[in-house]
Each structure stands twice: as structure tokens, then as C-alpha cells.
Amino acid sequence: MSPSIPAHHDLIPADVRARLGTLRLAMRQPAGAQGHGVHHSRSRGAGLEFAQYRAYEPGDSLRQIDWKLYARSDKFFVREAERDSPLTAWLLLDTSASMAQGDAVRPGWSRLDAAKALAACAIELAVRQGDRFGVIAAGGTSLHAVPAGGGARHRDRCLLELHRLSASGAWPGQQRLRPLWEGIHAGTLAIVLSDCFDENVVSLAERLAAARREVIVVQLLTTEERDFPFRGGHRFRDPESGDEVLGDGAAVRDEFVKRFASARATLARRLAAGGIRHVEYVLDQPLDAPLRVLFSTRHGGTGA
């Protein structure tokens, strides 16, 4: 039997689920594998868009024969179309300690909560399209993975894994990440959900892109990081290293906002240089905001 997710534990809010119909999970390049998804491929076969005629061969479906052409030529020709091919999407979640951070604007909603919900949305799109999908979560000393699969039963398996995830420790070392490289094959889509504060996360995205994986990075930020609303004396603590800094919020605000904006711009340029699509999600925004930038059928889903 398929594992079930109680309705009150649904990671996708009802209003967001209703808007997913205007989104289409897609890659910039053709997926290239044979199958029944909605993605354009260069492979020939029985598909949706006519490409060319070819001579009939034993084993071809009679439904592909152009009978009008046969009537004119007395020869059998098959209408060959461009075959649709399924995409394989990997949801790569950062579960290091900094992903547990939220802020006062939306109590009880952390970076990791947002990452889980965004991953669930991407999985739902994949199910609707007939695509394959898998989940990899990296943080602390562990690497949790659900191999790529398809369909509603596999979706439920992935959602159960998402529900179990918690944030702790630092980003794993390269040795721990070896299974990731074995699972995410060339020509697949990797969606990285992280705050991108660890250099190793960004380096991993670059390495995946250089190894012919199509990579999307969704950077998860808190409203306090964006706006820095603090006043008076505050103790600022790094959740992963434990380092603390004492300071007056108002006195350091302008410098922080300036430096943080510069760091974000530098990251955006770096990812763009690696051919990586990148979008920010701030915790006070609608959940599907980054998905609309990346995958909206109304705007072509070209990304940032």
C-alpha cells in the first residue's frame, strides 16, 4: 500500500495548489530520453508535433500510416513526429542548521519549511506531467536520498521523507556527497533549495552545472536579513558555528544592508556565469513566487 499524508500535514497550501496549473516544470534544453512526459525532445517517434515522413517498417503502428498519402502513391509512409520525453528532477535540500532560521514576520515558518513546501510543489508538477523525481537532503553528518521514480505512490514516499527532515549541523564534506553524484545523472534537472551561505553549496551547484546537469538555485532568505529591522542592542549568533557578535541594530543597519545586497549580487553573477538559473525567495513572499519566475507558462519560464 502507498504511504498516505494526512490532509492537515499537506505541505502545499490550497491557494498555491490551485495556482500550480499555470506552471510547467521544464528544462532549458530538451530532456532527450524517450517516454511520455510533456518535454520537447530531438528523438523521433510517435509524438505530438509532426516532423517528417519515412517509409513504413515492420513493427510500426498502423495508426501512424498516412492513408491519404498511400492513396496517392500506393506506398506506405509513416508520419514521424518529435517524441515527448520525460524530465528527471532532483530536489536538493540544504538541511544544515542555518535552514532552521525564521523570523518574527512569519512565526513558525523557517527556511527549511519553505524548502520542503517548494520541493513538494515541484514534485506535484512532476507528477502531473508524468516526469520522474527524487529527493536528496544534505546537512550535518547525513545525506538522505529517495531515488528517482514517478507517479503518485513515489510522490507520497518523497513527501514522507520531506516531513521527516530537520535542520542541524553544517553542510557535509565532499566524501559524504559522493552518493549525490552517483544519483544525479547528466541531462537531469537539479533544483537546489538553500540559503547559499555555505561556499560548498555554491561550489556544488557549479560542479553539477559543469558536469552537464541543469541546475536551478532557489536562495531562501528571511525578512530580517533583507530588511534588518533591529533597534537597540542585539546579540547576533551564527547557528552553525555558534559565533556571536554584539552590536547596536540601528548603528550597523546601513552597513549590513549594503554588504548583504552586494553579496547577493555577487552570488547572482557567479551563478549566471556558470549557466545556473537563480531566484530568491524571502519568507514573507507567496510560496509560489519563485516557481512563477522559473516555470510560468505565461512568461515562458525562462528564470532569472
- Of 55, 70, 85, which one is at a domain's C-terminal end? 85
Residue 208 lies in a domain: yes
Q: What is the pTM of this model?
A: 0.77
Give me the domain span that covers residue 77: 39-85
- Which residue reads 510547467 in cell numbers? 24
Is pLDDT larger for residue 147 or for residue 5? 147
In contact, 54 and 80? CB cutoff 8 Å: yes
Give a three-class secondary structure readout of 62-107.
HHHECHHHHHHHCCCEEEEEEEEECCEEEEEEECCHHHHCCCCCCC
pLDDT value, residue 42: 43
Residue 302 lies in a domain: no
Same domain for 167 and 64, yes or no, is no
User: Among 113-127, 171-185, 223-237, whose mean pLDDT is lowest?
Assistant: 223-237
Residue 47: pLDDT above 60?
no
pLDDT value, residue 5: 54
Question: How do 88-94 and 77-85 pair as beta strands?
Answer: unpaired
Residue 131 lies in a domain: yes
pLDDT value, residue 50: 53
Query: Among the residues of the chain, which ranges form H helices?
Result: 14-19, 67-73, 111-129, 151-164, 178-183, 199-210, 223-227, 249-273, 289-295
Read off φ and ψ for residue 282, nearest 5 degrees. -100, 140
In contact, 125 and 72? CB cutoff 8 Å: no
Same domain for 23 and 45, yes or no, is no
Single-letter residue type at 221: L
Residue 211 lies in a domain: yes
Q: Mean pLDDT, to the nearest integer, of 160-172?
A: 94
In contact, 93 and 115? CB cutoff 8 Å: yes
Region of residue 107 (left: phi > 0; alpha: psi -120 to 50; beta: else): beta
pLDDT value, residue 254: 80
Same domain for 63 and 162, yes or no, is no
Residue 80's pLDDT band (boundaries 50, 70, 90)? low
Residue 139: pLDDT above 80?
yes
Residue 214: pLDDT above 90?
yes
